[in-house]
Amino acid sequence: MNKKYILDTHMHTTSCGHGYSTIKELAIEAAERKLELICITEHSGLVPRAFFKDIMDVPNQLYGVEILKGAEVDIISSSGDVSLADKYLESLHVIIASFHRSLIDPKSKSENTQTLLNVIKKHGKQINILGHLDDLRFEIDYDLICKTAKENNIAIELNDSSLNPNKGRLTSFENILELLNTAKKHNCYISIGSDAHNAWKVGSFENAIKLIEASKYPEELILNTDINKFKNFLAK
C-alpha cells in the first residue's frame, strides 16, 4: 500500500446487488490498509431510493476511518439527466457521474461528448467527479470534457479497476494515459478510485500509481493525498 494516497473515492457494497462486502467490512479493510477516509458511492440506479436517506445514519467514522456518503449516479439521457433526485444529489457528500451501458446506449464520439456536456450544464454544481471516462465504448472528446470539467470544478477520475479485464471496459494503459495527459494540460483535479466491489480491493491503486508516474501528474492536483484538500474541493 502506497502511504501517499490516504483516501479512496469510489467503492460499492452488497446493497447494489453486485458488491460482495458491507460498509463495515470495507471500513475494516480500509483501516488495515491505513486509509484515512473512504467514500461509499453506491450505484444510484441499483439501490432503493431510501438507501440514500438511510445511509446518513451510518457513523461518520468507523475503525478510525472517516466515511463519506455518496453515490455513483448513472447518466440516463442525452439531455443530461442522471438517476438520482436533486435532494440526494445535494445532501450526499460526494457525487460521481458515470456512463453505464445498462442505462444508456453508447453513441458516436460527438454525441457522447454532447451528452456529458449536457450533464455538466444540468448538474455541474452537484457533481464532483466524472467516473471512468476511459471507457472507449463511450468514446468522448477528452480535450473538451477536461476543459469543461475544470471550468466547473469537477475532477476527472483515475479508476483503478478500468484495466481489470473482468470490468469489461474497453480501454488500455495508453488510452488512460492520454486522458490523464489531457487532464494535466487543463490543470484538472484527479481522484483515484478503486471502484472496489469487495473489501479486498479497497485502496488498491497499483494501476493508478503506474499511470500517475507515467504522466508525472502534479501532486497538488491529486485529491487523494490530503483529506483537507479533498474536502475543500468538495465544498465548491
Interface ranges with Zn ion (CB under 5 A): 72, 98, 195
Distance of closest approach, residue 198 Cβ to Zn ion, in angstroms: 12
Distance of closest approach, residue 112 Cβ to Zn ion, in angstroms: 15
Instruction: Between 160 and 195, name the residue whose CB sits nearer to Zn ion.
Output: 195
Q: How many residues are present in the chain?
A: 236
Instruction: Between 102 and 228, name the residue whose CB sits nearer to Zn ion.
Output: 102
Distance of closest approach, residue 74 Cβ to Zn ion, in angstroms: 8
Instruction: Between 44 and 215, name the residue whose CB sits nearer to Zn ion.
Output: 44
Q: Counting beta carbons within 10 angstroms of the beta carbon of residue 20, is it exposed (0 to 12), middle (13 to 18) or buried (19 or more)?
A: middle
Q: Which residues contact 57 (CB under 8 A, 6 or more apart)?
A: none
Measure the CA–CA gap between 80 and 95, rounded to whole angstroms. Answer: 15
Distance of closest approach, residue 216 Cβ to Zn ion, in angstroms: 27
Cβ atoms of 222 and 180 closer than 8 Å: no
Instruction: Between 83 and 98, name the residue whose CB sits nearer to Zn ion.
Output: 98
How many Cα atoms within 13 Å fall on the side-chain side of residue 119? Answer: 30
User: And the C-alpha cell for 66?
Assistant: 472517516
CB closest to Zn ion, residue no? 98
